[in-house]
A and B are shown apart, each in its own frame.
Chain A
Amino acid sequence: MELLRAENISKSFAGVRVLDKVHMKVDGGRVHALIGENGAGKSTFMNILMGMYPADEGTVFVRGRPVHFAGARDAMQYGLSMIHQELLVFPELTVAENIFMGRQPLSRFGWIDTRTLQRKARELMEQLGVDIPVAKKMKELTIGSMQMVEIVKAVSNQASVFIMDEPTSAITQKEAEILFRIIALLKGQGKAIIYISHKMDELFRLADEVTVLRDGKYIGTRSRAGLEMGELISMIVGRDLDKLYQKQKTFPGPVLLEARNLCSEGVRNVSLEVRRGEVLGIAGLMGAGRTSLAHALAGMEKITSGEIRLNGQTVSINSPRAAKNKGIGLVTEDRKQWGLIPDASVKQNIVLRSLKKHSRGILLDQRREKAVADREMERFRIRAASRNQAVGSLSGGNQQKVVLSGMQLTEPELIILDEPTRGIDIGAKQEIYQYIASLTTRGKAVILISSELPELLALSDRILVMREGRVKAEMERDKASQELIMQHAMAE
């Protein structure tokens, strides 16, 4: 049965058309995947369906009847619910309050019954198999946990159409499985799901239909039967793509960085070493301490004990500035918080970290900045209306590319990549993989933190598995497997 249909939806921002007469039809009891490159317009499209923005033209039909949503509130009343790509949370409120915001349970007298609120939240969590304390403040959670709360919040709505915009980009396999179970459950109840993701394996596993957008235009809809990876990819990128993972043989050189018994917030007694020309992968479940380790190594978190040696010499890295000067670069997993100045332009964000290098004394060198920004935008295929667009209005994947390009302009020797392909389309992923490969052939060292195990397995020379802030296992690439990693990552 058709639950939702959108026809001829168009939308422009500041004179740039980002959606051009796109359409889509969703049936109950099916998962309809929406895919396309970064900046193709997927999120914009969904935000229009959800009443977050008005469309410039086009009509939305719910159960065959045309509707006009003046806001998210209207869309929700028509049975739509959405997990947004960017986290839309209330950091100062508790998990339970976040889940029930807008529909708090009231007592007989009309006021909020905090105890029932928490109980209901706890029940919901249990029911869905999520383990997050409901009385904690949202800001105390890791991004992954926040994402899970958002999922719980969205699916607990009494809705008939669920829109999920990259729900798995910030969570690990384990949590993703929980989501997949929930999706199966909803599907069984006859609900419709629109699912956006850049992860091909998820699409093949979940989708009943796939609609592809490119450059804001509708490209086509295919049903699951007879769908081929090759065809899908060329629909997405408009050309053929080489093999995704092409790991060249590497020849590790001397040790670049060595950590001994490192302790810091969330990191307990970690020792590791990275060689030049080597990719060190770090695996772990959510909250295993990988991000904390990355932060400690990049001067973002105070090191409480232990020692770091660079090129054999003990160094103290007490600020990101010190890390940068010593040749350590970090691509953060939380670009919104640590990575970008949202109101500043793409150009300014790209050159910010390496501004000193690209200026003349205390004066800026605008011409050079423009040239550098254009070069980087070309190189990482950053899709923006111009280099002067505010980076906060770029699509998620393009923002990630800006972070990456900004970091590598500082020309670090050790590059720490924390979930670098989060939310990145398949074409761009390949470019990032090629970039990582080029780093190692130039004798740089890379620490790669990723929750996508196939990616980690394909790119790393060695893999560390973390749990509870400690390194629990170390394995060479040819000995590693998904099963083995998961075995070490989970508690015994």
Chain B
Amino acid sequence: GGCRQAGQAGKPVIGASMLSLQSEFIVKVKDAMEAEASDRQIRLIVNDAQRAAVTQVQQVESFIAQGVDAIILNPCEMEASSPAVQKARAAGIPIINVNSETTAEPDGFVGSRDEESAEIALQHIASLLRGKGNLVIMHGYMGQAAQLKRAAATKTLLADFPEITILAEQTAEWDRAKAMSLMENWIQSYGNRIDAVFAQNDEMGMGALQALEQAGLKDKVIVVSIDAIDDALRAVKDGRLDATVYQDADAQGRQAVQMALDFIQKRDSVEERSVYIPFRLVTRGNVEEFLK
């Protein structure tokens, strides 16, 4: 129940459980949420689930016990984070998913379809390759929602391009240093045969890029990745990285808080219950828009 332990000065209280505050993108979402919360005089409690769904479930349980007014969930996993959603709903506390989905349906959703990002990236690769060539793929940490969705979308999309061959795919665990080593090893075994690299996030994309540059192969190989972190945007601007996919952290964070406040104020009469913020391809042509 709603026995408002947590809200002391009558300010509404929102509890947020974030996927990982060691991920640059999630930190941006969090920053936007905090900015919005302070604009709107809301107390925001941010917990870091450190990529563990069970921690996330526990944090939501704690929020329920503390009697927060609304919960924002940035899910670690589709299914595994679902109990958190169910518990919040059972306790009658509005819960909004930000950035990605869970199997259990929350009260509200602000974010994007992760599959879309991979589709956009691969479309771009395919068009740069003119539908023909050899591709290597760097996966995120195996089994995590983002890795799975981006991998699934890759598979469906590539079905349309029978002349694009996957030379190799492997995990670099979202990590730049690991991606660099992996790329070096691939260069060693495939040499000039690699035409393009798709990395499931920018960190890995940057790692692949650096390895290619060191091997003097960057001119021959296309590199595209996802997230549009600052480093990647700059690389796109400098013409090093071919493209990245932008996801609007600021809009996601701000709108999630707005929606939570809506639920607190209007309860069941909230109309706009799902906000999709589309991904956008960033290339040298439009990168200036995204660089602050």
A/B: CB atoms within 8 Å of each other:
no
Residue numbers of A with Cβ under 8 A of B are: none
